[in-house]
A and B are shown apart, each in its own frame.
Chain A
């Protein structure tokens, strides 16, 4: 598995898209810092970008990589190799190279700007951690979609739909249902609703750091326990881990059964 991981990783590192992705984040970081002159505000803006863009790029890139390297995968399958290690190796190769572009692309300008001397360092590292989690989650989801669909166009379609649903439509439905059931106690429902969407989950995780004063404005014991203590942070991170593990398990399961 490590060998395939290494191969995928180097292959991607040499590819143009990784550089484009890296350059995009580098540019974004530099421009944000140049325009804002303020680390904490730049972190807020970055958060908005990361929770939307990272999943999008993760899904598209994951699907694209799978379809592009399909012939190579079929070649590998002819060798005496475990199927799970082939697909996991490819998955990790994509996810790690994407995360690296993200971390380096954003990290370099911020470090040059004096991140280590700033109090925003924790917010920023949390941002990178969530970004990495999102990359891993959405690449895994993308692999799932690609494995289930032989048709490239269909696969891309589903991938974009998945992103659109989780990034925008889900929140709309969520908001409508909260308003619809406003006569009932909703704090449990709203927390569960958040847990079920990795984008919402990472958004909440960052909110915990940035908007804690507003979040504490709502009266509700569960909310208070969730946001007022480290409980929220721990639960969010473990839920994110679950969100990584579940699709990966499905990749393994699906890869074992699939006919090529």
Chain B
């Protein structure tokens, strides 16, 4: 065992010591990235100098470090996939990749990792792409500091910025994704960390989870997407300190939850979305310390949502705080601050003495007849809302915040 270990170290060191650097430039002996990969040994470094390289179908089949100097351009000429990594331990750094081919039968990507592990993809700039970074059955990799700028117009003929498929333990940090279909898309991908990314102006979702469990995303910024983040059919997702902003439109949500269980949503800010959070068939979720500011609907509960806890959130100046489409409630609202609360606090303990009813009759009416939205903030509506508040008929009568805060909650 010991000998085996030592020999392994020796081989590793030998290969490392022998590692050489191959330079690629327009008038070097090696003028193509593809040729450089062919002549390289495992663990070599390929240094790509500034210039334009018209190449596609580059297959990286050994552990290599490919570094671009001053952002050399790899131009795929719209012919297909550009870089495919099929080996472990590959690092790609500092390339400018453009013109990925579009296909309706294959998902061409600017850079694809196939069954690799321990890869690092960083400092890339991708433009004019179909799919950007595609991780297929890869694991333990890192995707850092990439800038992906697409030009997607229609959903059906555009791809995703960063796509994970059956990939595990991936770290995605500090990326900037714009104008693609889904900014970041996870399908069957568990234990991933998504941190400090900006995903904006995408056609569909800023971030999209499908059948992915135990993932964490935090400190991301989702702005002006079709919908900020969609979390569907996933379990135990943690969502911390993200910003969801200006996701406007008829089917636009800051956050869309569908068939989600046991998630934790903490410290997020939802600002000026048509719907802050849209919840459907989601159970045992904790909402803690979130800010809902100036949304059309802060939270829209569609149905089949049980045992959710909404604790210590701020609901500030939303047109509607909560909307329910039935009068059954199994969710708990407690110790939130509601800017629409009109009660008083006689014993000065910071908690209002009268419970707050977050669901208004008008939100029920709007659910039924959407055109009535035009009567928002009318005096007549205020009157019927008041009478419903006094004796609830249409809205769930046990839907109450028994301890509404008097002052905005700081944390």
A residues lining the B interface (CB < 8 Å): 40-41, 44, 47-48, 51-52, 167-169, 171-172, 174-175, 178-179, 182, 186-187, 189-191, 193-194, 200, 203-204, 206-207, 211-220, 223-224
Contact = CB atoms under 8 A, between A and B. Distances in A.
Contacts of A220: 370-371
Interface string B341-352: 000000000000
Nearest to B339: A41
A214 B297 contact: yes
Contact of B320 (A169, A207, A214): A214
Contact of B374 (A51, A172, A204): A204
Nearest to A174: B375
B229 interface: no
B275 A217 contact: yes
Q: Is the interface of A mostly helix, strand, loop or mixed?
A: helix
B317 A41 contact: yes
Given A167-B379, A171-B375, A216 B365 contact: no
B271 to A, nearest CB: 9
Contacts of A174: 375
Given A178-B371, A213-B274, 18 more contacts: A41-B339, A47-B377, A48-B377, A52-B379, A178-B369, A178-B372, A182-B369, A187-B371, A190-B372, A193-B374, A203-B377, A204-B374, A213-B248, A213-B273, A215-B373, A217-B373, A218-B371, A219-B250
Contacts of B370: 217-220
A214 B296 contact: yes
B38 to A, nearest CB: 55
B376 A190 contact: no
A215 B252 CA distance: 12
6 contacts: A51-B379, A174-B375, A175-B365, A193-B374, A214-B297, A224-B250
Contacts of A212: 248
Contacts of B275: 217
| Residue from B339, B375, B378, B379 having most chain A Cβ neighbours under 10 A | B378
A215 B296 contact: yes
B381 A171 contact: yes
B295 interface: yes
Contacts of B252: 216
Contacts of B371: 178, 182, 186-187, 189-190, 218, 220, 223
A213 B317 contact: no
A211 to B, nearest CB: 5
B294 interface: yes
Contacts of B376: 207, 211, 214-215
B377 to A, nearest CB: 6
B360 to A, nearest CB: 12
A200 to B, nearest CB: 7
| Residue from B365, B371, B382 having most chain A Cβ neighbours under 10 A | B371
A200 B378 contact: yes
B368 interface: yes
